Amino acid sequence: MNVLKRLPWVSMIAGFSLLTACSGNTASDKVTEASGASAAPAVEAPPAQSKPVTIEFWYGLGGKLGENMESLIQKFNASQQEVIVKGIVQADYTETERKLQAAIATGQVPAAVLSSNIDWARKGYFAPMDELIARQPDFHKEDFVQTFLNQGQVDGKQYFLPMYGTTQVMYYRKDAFEKSGIDASQLKTWEDLAAAAEKMAVKEGGKTTFFGWEPMWGSGNMIDAVLSKGGSILSEDGTKVTIDSPEWIETWDLFRKWIHEDKTMRIHSGGQGWEYWYKTIDDVMKGQAAGYIGSSGDQGDLDFSIVSAMEQPGWAGAGEGKPVAQAIMVGIPAKAGDAERQAAMKWLSYFTNSENTAFWSINTGYISVRQSALKDPAFISFSKTHPQIKIPLMQASHASAPFQDPTGGKINDALTIAADKVQIENIPAAEALKEAQQTAQAALDKVK
């Protein structure tokens, strides 16, 4: 869901086997020729045939996502005889990176991994992909959603490829909007949404019994809204943390007001894992709220006979929304052999072709990485009866790139703390953000 979410679709798999024979050791398997013991004249043996290159692909996906990934792996393996992909399931993204770190230390690496780390790329732990991409016919880099492709570039080189994208969109109950006479297509600004939430909220005895909207807990939703208003996290030269600017204070204090003073909106916080996320979804699906902000990947959890989707709004006078759209990327470890790297790129090219990225979007709700997916026959057919599938891709076309924290996470941590103060503790945004700015600036100064 998010980058920003959970991604709640990630099931925590209770255990898995780490294969001892990783792809880094399979580069040179060949069929050996037998030599005859007879004194008869030697007969020239037929040319040796190379075995398929077997590679491991690590990914932290469970549930329906994992099933869809395995389906595409099997389809790829059946489509050609040069490469065999073995999918190795990890518990989640964090576990994948932890396991990869250990594999890099031993040299027993997978050929491809659903993980990306800019710092590791700069340290040489991942292989650049530019030459591998150049060898792939019909790759067409220009067809990728450039917001996503650019996120995989480090110092001018392509180290990671986007496999799919995610962004947070708006899901709303059709009956609640209809009952209040609200046309979703006319909600172009956050001001419009706030007015609609006020109209739809139901209060009895000073208590709200039906909420007009539910933002998602955390800094993500409010950061999206700030970016849409023209705010930034750092100054253009990267030397100053700007999270206490008027765009930030005004936006975050509106969220505080909607939640704590107007009581037309609320958030669920805390709990185990992604419990808060599912409670938010449940409020909407069970008729306790008119809508919420969630991941494009929520679409598999929603009943679209009840809800529909729309893009995040902008602000009056500021233009369309610019929420973050993040690519979930894949890399090739540098310690993989040349044959494994080439095999990995063949698999990645297959996964990201127009047909398969459209398949992934249809079956998961996540964003296709190619613009041509919109023209895929299956996608066109599906979108006629499921128009919500196009919303995340449309939003990604004018989205903001995710913030790359130069402090190793300290700026993001400061924002997380500030968001809790505003959303949960009802502390004025100016106070919470000024404190966060000072903390974040000190961390940035140490790095600089």
- Over residues 53-63, the pLDDT tens digits come to 999 999 998 88
Which long-range CB contacts under 8 A does 370-374 form with residues at least 24 apart? 370/143, 370/144, 370/145, 371/143, 371/144, 371/145, 372/143
Token pair listed for 69: 């990934």
Amino acid at 187: L
Residues 269 and 418 in one domain: yes
Distances (CA, A) of 27 to 89, 100, 154, 159: 22, 19, 27, 21
Q: Is the pLDDT of residue 422 over 50?
A: yes
**What stretches of 137-251 adopt beta strand conformation (E)?**
153-154, 157-158, 160-173, 202-204, 207-210
Angle, alpha carbons 165-399-426 (nearest 5°): 100
Residues 235 and 290 in one domain: yes
Report if residue 12 sits inside a domain.
Answer: no
**What torsion do the CA atoms of 103, 109, 112, 113 make, to the nearest 10 degrees?**
-10
Report if residue 409 sits inside a domain.
Answer: yes
**Rounded mean pLDDT, 329-338:** 98
**Amino acid 117: pLDDT:** 92
Residues 320 and 361 in one domain: no
Please tell me the least confidently modeled range out of 99-113, 253-267, 397-411: 397-411
Amino acid at 206: G
Which long-range CB contacts under 8 A does 46-52 form with residues at least 24 apart? 52/81, 52/82, 52/83, 52/84
Residues 127 and 273 in one domain: no
**Which residues touch 441 (CB under 8 Å, ≥6 apart)?**
240, 241
Residues 97 and 218 in one domain: no
Last residue of a domain, one of 353, 370, 396: 396
Helices (H), ranges, 168-245: 174-179, 190-200, 220-228
Report if residue 352 sits inside a domain.
Answer: yes
Residues 114 and 161 in one domain: yes
pLDDT digits (tens, 9 = 90+) for 34-44: 333 333 344 34
Sign of CA dihedral 241, 245, 248, 252: positive
**Rounded mean pLDDT, 338-364:** 96
> In residues, how long is the chain?
448
Q: Is the pLDDT of residue 251 over 80?
A: yes
Q: Enter the pTM of the model.
A: 0.76
Residues 386 and 313 in one domain: no
Residues 290 and 264 in one domain: yes
Distances (CA, A) of 240 to 69, 243, 405, 409: 42, 9, 13, 16
Residues 144 and 196 in one domain: no
**Amino acid 22: pLDDT:** 38
Q: What total number of domains does the chain contain?
A: 2
**Amino acid 41: pLDDT:** 41
pLDDT-based confidence at residue 134 (cuts at 50, 70, 90): very high
Q: Is the pLDDT of residue 12 over 50?
A: no
Average pLDDT, the chain: 89
Last residue of a domain, one of 396, 420, 439: 396
Report if residue 112 sits inside a domain.
Answer: yes
**Amino acid 62: pLDDT:** 81
What's the distance, Cα to Cα, between the start and end of the chain in Å? 33
Residues 229 and 88 in one domain: no
Report if residue 2 sits inside a domain.
Answer: no
pLDDT digits (tens, 9 = 90+) for 212-244: 999 999 999 999 999 999 999 999 999 999 999
What span, in angstroms and rounded, lies between the C-alpha atoms of 195 and 212? 9
Residues 196 and 304 in one domain: yes
User: What CATH number does residue 379 fall under?
Assistant: 3.40.190.10
Report if residue 72 sits inside a domain.
Answer: yes
Sign of CA dihedral 340, 160, 92, 172: negative
**Amino acid 365: pLDDT:** 87
- Quote the domain boundaries for residue 391: 23-27+51-166+326-396
Please tell me the least confidently modeled range out of 30-34, 117-121, 128-132: 30-34
pLDDT digits (tens, 9 = 90+) for 273-321: 789 999 999 999 999 999 999 999 888 789 999 999 999 999 999 999 9
Residues 116 and 159 in one domain: yes
